Amino acid sequence: MPTPTDIFGFEYGNLLSVQGGGLYFALVGTSAIVTGTTVSGNYALRTAMGEFNNVQLKIQSSTTTFVGCVHFRFDTMPSGADLIFIEIDNETVLNCWFEVVLATGFIRASFAGNGPQTTDIQLQQNMWHTIEWKLVLSADPTTLDWSYDGVQQTQVTRAGTGTNVGGIKVGDMSAAGLGNIFWDDVIYSITAADFMNLGGIKVAGLVPNADGAHNNTTNVLEINDGSDINGTTVLAYPQIDDMPWSTTLGDRIQSNLAGSTNYVEMGIPNVSGTAIYAVKGYLEYSAATAAGNDGATVMILSGGIERSIWGTAAAPADMSETTAFFKSNMIAATGSAWTQEMANSMVMRIGYSADANPDPYWQAAMLEYAYASGASYSDNFTLPKSLGITETVVTTHNPSVSLAKSANIFTSVIGVYGDSILLNRSLAISVASELLLDVAISLSKINNILLLGGLDFQSALVLGKIDDIFISSILDAQNSLSLSKQNSIILSSVLEAQDIFALGKSINISLDVVSSILASIILGKSDGISLTGGLSLEDSITFIRSLTTTLFSDLTLSESFTLGKSLNISVSAIMVLSLAMTLAKTVDILVSGTGNFNLAISLARSLLISTLAEVQGVIEESLTLGKSLAITTVTILSAVESILFSKSNTIMLNSVATMNANIALNKLIALSLSAGLLISDAISFNQSKNITTSTTLTINEAFGLSKSVGISDSLLADLAAQLSLGKAINISTNVQMVLENDLNLGRILAIQISGGVVYDEAFVLAVYKAIALSSELVQFMGNIPAKLVLNDQIIWLIVTGDRLLQ
C-alpha cells in the first residue's frame, strides 16, 4: 500500500501566500487555483506560460530517496523554446528537470540538462498526463527513475550523491510559450516501493461541518464578536469552514483568555473512496498583535490519539502574526495505515492556549486526504492502473472513463459509453457483442482491439498506435476515424465509413464482405488491402503507399481514386470507376470482370493492365498511360474519348476495339486486334512495328503512321479517309484494300495486295532511297495518274492501254 509523505490537492481553493511556510516554499510570478479543470477534488493549480511563473511546494522531509507523482495538463502546446515545467531541487547533485521538447512534443528528463532521456510519446493538449519519479541520492551515481502516463522510461543518472531534496517546483521555469499548465494531486513519498504506485491516488478536501463536544468556559474560546462558543447557539465550525480560503482576515475562533485544557471540537465529513492513503491538516491563523502567544490545532483519532496540525495540547505553538499565516502537517494514522472508518471517525479540536495575550485567531482549518476510488460508475471515475475489467452484462458508462493503464477490457455483451473514453495505454480491448461509442474515444497505444460484435463510432475515434484491430461484425464509423500507426485491421463483415477514415500507417486491412465508404479514406502506408466482399467508395480514396490491394468482388469508385505507389490492384469481379483514377506507379491492375471507367484514368507508369472480361465501351473520358508495357482486354475495348499511350509495347484486343475519339501511340511495338479495329476519329502511331487486324480494319478518319514496320490486314482494309505512312516497310492486304481518299507513303519498301485495290483519288509515292513495288501495283494504276518521286525527280505514271507511261 502506498505511503505518501505529503500530498498537495490545492483544495483550499485559492492561491494564498508563503507566510508560515505551510503551503509553499516559494511563489514566483503569477499563478492561480481554479475550479473546473481538476483530476480530483474541486480545485487545481494553474500556472501561466510565458514568464517565470512557478510554485515551489512545501517539502517536509529531508531524504535521499524521493518518490513522487505529478498530474499536469497543458491547455496550449508549448511554443518558442523547450519548456522546463517540473523541477526537483536536490541540494548536492544538479536539479532534476522535466521538460517538453519543443521540436517533438516529447517529455525529457535530465539532471539540469545532463544525461537526458526522452519519451517517444507526444504531449497531448488538454489531456491530463502523469509523471512519476524516484530519485535516489544515496548512491553514486544518483539515479532518477521516471514514468510518463504509467509507462516507465529510461533511467537518468548523474555522478555524485546527495543528502537532501529541497522541493518540488512546478510551472514555467523557462519563460516560454503561451497558455496555461494545470496541476493537481502532487504527491511524494520517501518509500522507494511507492514508485509508480502513486499515480492512481487522488486528493480531495474536507472542511469541518459540525460542532462536536466542546470543553469551553466563559471568555476563553469565542467567535470574533466575543460570544462564547457553546455548540448550540454559538457554533465553532462556521467560523473556520471558509471555502475558498483567503488571506483577508475574517470570521474566526479566538482564545480571549488562556485555557490550556479548553478546546472546541468539530466534526469532519466522511471520506470518499474505499482506500485512504494519507490525511493532511491545514491551518490559517493570525493574532491580535505580534507579541508572543500560543494555541493548538489538532486532530483526535479513534482511541483519543492526538495528531498535530499546529501545536499540541501539551505544547501549543506560537500564533503571534498580525497577517494571515499558514501551517500544514500530515496526520499519521493510529496503526500502520489509514482505514475508511478511521478517517470518518476523526474530529478536529482548536484551543489549548496557554498564552492568549494577545488573542490567537483561528481563521480557517481543513483537511486533505489521499484516496483510491472504488468500482462505482455513478460518477466520473478514473482507473490509473487496471489489469482487468470484465463486464458480463450490459454496462452503460454515462460519465467519462479514464484508464491510464489498462491491460484488458472485456465486455461480453454490450458496452455503451455515453461520454468520452480515454485509454492512454491499453493492451487489449475485447468486446464480444457490440460496442457503441457516442462520443470521442482516444486510444494512445493499444496492441489489440478485438470486437466480435461490432464497433459503431458516432464520433471521432483516434487510435495513436495500434497493432491489430479485429472486427468480426460491423465497423460503422459515422465520424472521423484516424489510425496513425496500425498494423492490421481485419473486418469480417461490413466496413462503413460515413466520414473521414484516415490510416497513417497501416500494414493490412482485410474486409471479408462489402465495404461501403461514404467519405474520404486515406491510407498513408498500407501493405495489403484485401476486400473479399466489395468496396464502394462514394468519396475520394487515397493510398499513398500500398503494396497490394485485392478486391474479390465489386470495386465501385464514385469519386477519385489515387494510388501514390501501388504494386498490385486486383479486382476479381467488376471494377467501375466513375471518377478520376490516378496511379503514379502501378505494376499490375487485374480486373476479372468488367472494367468500366467513366472518367479519366491516368497511369504514369503501368506495366500491366488486364481485364479478363471487357473494358466496356466505356472509357468515356481520356485514358493516358505514361509507360505501359501491356494492355490486354479479352473482349471489347471501347474508348469514347481519347486514348493516349506515350510508351506502350503491346496492346492486345481479342475482340472488337472501337475508338470514337483520338488515339495516339507514340511508341508501340505491336497492336494486335483479333477481331477488328474501328477508328471513328484520328489515330496516330508515331512509332509502331506491327499493326495486325485479323478481320476488318476500318478507318473513317485520318490514319497516320510516322514509322511503321508492318501493317497487315488479313481480310479487308477499308480506308475512308486519308492514310499517311511516314515510313512503312510493309503494307499487306490479303483480300482487298480500298482507299477512298489520298494515300501518302513517304517511304515504302513494299506494298503487296493479293486481291484488288481501288483508288478513287490521287496516289502519291515519295521514295528517296529504295522502292520495291510489285508489278501488280504499278500496272494497276488504271485511269488514275500517279506521281512517283524518285530521289529529286518526279515521275508521272499513266497507264494507257497495256502500257505504262512515265
> Which residues bind to another protein, rule: CB under 8 A?
17-21, 24-30, 51-53, 56, 58, 89, 91, 95, 166-167, 175, 290-292, 318, 320-323, 325
Instruction: Kindly tell me which of 175 and 773 has the beta carbon lying closer to another protein.
Output: 175
Which whole-number Å values give the CA distances from 103 to 83, 117, 128, in the listed order? 11, 15, 21
Tell me what percent of the chain is helix, strand and coil, each rounded to the nearest 5. Answer: 5, 55, 40
Phi and psi of 444, rounded to 5°?
A: -70, -50
Nearer to another protein, 27 or 729 (CB): 27
Q: Which helix (H) or strand (E) holds 266?
A: strand 263-267
Shorter beta-carbon distance to another protein: residue 19 or 690: 19
Specify the residue, 91 or 341, whose C-beta has the smaller distance to another protein: 91
Instruction: For residue 280, report the phi and psi dihedrals to the nearest 5 degrees.
Output: -135, 135
- Tell me how far, at minimum, the Cβ of 500 lies from another protein, in Å: 44
Evaluate whether 47 touches 184 at the Cβ level (below 8 Å). no
Residue 451 corresponds to which cell in the numbers above?
470486437
Q: CA nearest 118: which of 140, 129, 102, 134?
A: 102
Q: Any idea what the Cα angle at residue 743 is, between residues 739 and 746, rounded to 5°?
A: 155
* DSSP letter for each residue of 42-108: S-EEEEESSS--EEEE------SEEEEEEEEEESS---SS-EEEEEEEESSSPPEEEEE-TTT--EE
CB of 446 to another protein, least distance (A): 42
Q: Which is nearer to another protein, 20 or 199 (CB)?
A: 20
779, 759 in Cβ contact below 8 A? no
Q: CB 20 → another protein: shortest distance, Å?
A: 6
Question: Smallest distance, Å, CB 83 to another protein?
Answer: 14
What are the cell numbers at 648? 506502350
User: CB 60 → another protein: shortest distance, Å?
Assistant: 12
Q: What is the rounded CA–CA span in Å between residue 507 and residue 525?
A: 7
Smaller CB separation from another protein, 29 or 231: 29
Q: C-alpha dihedral over 600, 603, 607, 609, to 10 degrees?
A: -20
Nearer to another protein, 294 or 539 (CB): 294
Instruction: Name the minimum Å distance from CB 247 to another protein.
Output: 10
Q: How far is the CB of 124 from another protein (least distance, A)?
A: 28
Nearer to another protein, 33 or 481 (CB): 33
Which residues lie closer than 8 Å to 481 by C-beta, 6 or more apart? 457, 460, 461, 463, 497, 499, 500, 501, 502
Over 614-644, what HEC string results? Answer: EEEEEECCCEEECCEEEEEECCCEEECCCEE
Indicate the DSSP class of residue 317. Answer: B
Nearer to another protein, 29 or 617 (CB): 29
Shortest distance, position 249 Cβ to another protein, whole Å: 12
d(CA 800, CA 473): 86
The nearest distance, CB 315 to another protein, in angstroms, is: 13
Which run of H or E residues covers position 341?
Answer: helix 340-345
C-beta closer to another protein: residue 160 or 166: 166
Provide the minimum distance between the beta carbon of 294 and another protein in the complex, in angstroms, as a whole number.
11
